[in-house]
Amino acid sequence: MITFISLLLTSLYIFLMTYFVSSVWYFILIWAITGIIVFYLSAGLFFVFFSILIMPLLKDDSKFKYFLLRSFARWLMVFLFWGRVKVIGRENVPADGKLIIYANHKSKFDPGFVTQAIHRPHGYAVKSDLKEYPITKQIVESMRSFYIFREDNRETLKSLLYGIKMAE
């Protein structure tokens, strides 16, 4: 969905610039190159708009919210990091009921991989340092996730109890 919106805005930008400014061949090349910038900016702005304004309004188990998160994670992997995620054994993940997934942390992109692989509402245990960034804070708090405080075990326990309560 995010890819479609970004491509639509980029195509519209290239068409309007060609039609209203100039249709000389070297200008079309300039519009195409700047269109790539529009492509990435439009996807980023859409995600910021979605995470700050729309995500708090959706229910915790909203399929639309997780569909958009999967779309953005897929967009990041394909267009920003030039990679694909191949999921083996998705049929073994139950569609309903409680589920705990332990991702072996190989990189900081693991939540993007898991988000693409799991087609149901889910949350994460997130380190508390990410609480300082407004966009990640908004996403974490609206996804049934909880924080892990490495320096304070009591806060971590409170947060873990909150996470268990959110999963019920």
Give the C-alpha separation, 32 to 28, whole Å. Answer: 6
Contact status, residue 117 vs residue 70, Cβ threshold 8 Å: no
Global confidence as pTM: 0.70
6 half-sphere exposure, CB direction, 13 A CA radius: 21
Instruction: Give the count of beta carbons closer than 10 Å to the beta carbon of residue 157.
Output: 11
Contact status, residue 40 vs residue 73, Cβ threshold 8 Å: no
pLDDT, residue 101, reads: 74
Each of the 168 residues of the chain gets a pLDDT tens digit; together they read 777 777 788 888 888 887 777 777 777 778 788 888 888 888 888 888 887 788 888 887 788 888 888 888 888 888 777 777 788 888 888 888 777 777 777 777 777 788 888 888 777 888 888 888 888 888 887 777 888 888 888 988 888 888 878 776
Instruction: Give the count of beta carbons closer than 10 Å to the beta carbon of residue 35.
Output: 19
Concatenating the DSSP letter of every residue in 1-28 gives -HHHHHHHHHHHHHHHHHHHT---HHHH
Conformational region of residue 8, where left means phi above 0, alpha means psi within -120 to 50, and beta covers everything else: alpha
pLDDT, residue 63, reads: 82
> In 3-state terms, what secondary structure has residue 148?
strand
